[in-house]
Amino acid sequence: MKVVVVLCLLASAVYGGVVVPATTLIRTPQFDSAVIKSDRIGGNFAYSHVEAPAYAAVSPVISHVPTPVGVSYHAHPIQVPVVAPAIFPAPAVPAYVPAAFPALPAYSPVPVKPEAPVAPAAPAEPAPISDDSESVSVEAA
């Protein structure tokens, strides 16, 4: 009986996302580092290198993702009752009678007689202006 209860609790914990999986290490070569050293010992060259591979700790995130369920709808045709068109009598409209206005005199265009062009009058001769202020003119009677 205890085994069944433990299995039910384990199944509910896994389904609900309560169980946390272990963190794992993965190799990340983009973060690797290396040191290269060269020395001259005596007359010879000596090289040494040290590499440090990089690892990253990854802990997965587990959550319940609802999966979409396909839904289909069955469309039923809508039945609309057919109604016979109603016939209405036309509204009574009084006949148009023009208003009685007093008779207006008929105007006709008056012919315009062209006038002869008028020549401009010759300008009058101005009186002579004299600079002599002491002279007096005398007219005979």
Output the six-digit token pair for 46: 């000596």
- When divided into structural domains, the chain yields a total of 1
The per-residue pLDDT for range 93-139, each reduced to its tens digit, is: 777 777 777 776 667 676 777 676 666 666 667 666 655 556 566 66
Give whichever of 28-42, 52-66, 88-102 has the largest mean pLDDT. 28-42
Q: Is residue 16 classed as helix, strand or coil in its secondary structure?
A: helix
Say if residues 51 and 76 touch (Cβ distance below 8 Å). no
Query: Are the C-beta atoms of 55 and 33 separated by less than 8 Å?
Result: no
49, 37 Cβ separation under 8 angstroms: yes
Residue 12 covered by a domain: yes
What is the predicted pLDDT for the residue at 122?
A: 67
Cβ pair 15, 36 in contact under 8 A: no
21: closest CA among 58, 55, 60, 56? 60
Q: Would the pTM of this model clear 0.75, i.e. be above it?
A: no
Residue 85 falls inside a structural domain: no
Please indicate, yes or no, if residue 5 is contained in any of the structural domains.
yes
Question: Which secondary structure element, helix H or strand E, spans residue 14, and what is its range?
Answer: helix 2-16
User: Is the CB of residue 38 less than 8 Å from the CB of residue 47?
Assistant: yes
Domain that holds residue 33: 1-41
Instruction: Please indicate, yes or no, if residue 58 is contained in any of the structural domains.
Output: no
Is 11 domain-assigned? yes
Question: Does the pLDDT value for residue 82 go beyond 70?
Answer: yes
CA distance 6 to 18: 15
Asked whether residue 123 is domain-assigned, the answer is no
Where residue 54 falls among pLDDT bands split at 50, 70, 90?
Answer: very high
2-20: per-residue pLDDT in tens?
888 888 777 777 666 555 5
In a domain? residue 78: no
Question: Is there a domain that residue 13 lies in?
Answer: yes
CB 23 within 8 A of CB 58: yes
Q: Does the pLDDT of residue 44 top 60, yes or no? A: yes
Residue 59: C-alpha distances to residues 16, 26, 56, 64, 136 (Å):
18, 10, 10, 16, 136
Residue 27 pairs in a beta bridge with: 55
The mean per-residue pLDDT over the stretch 70-98 comes to 80
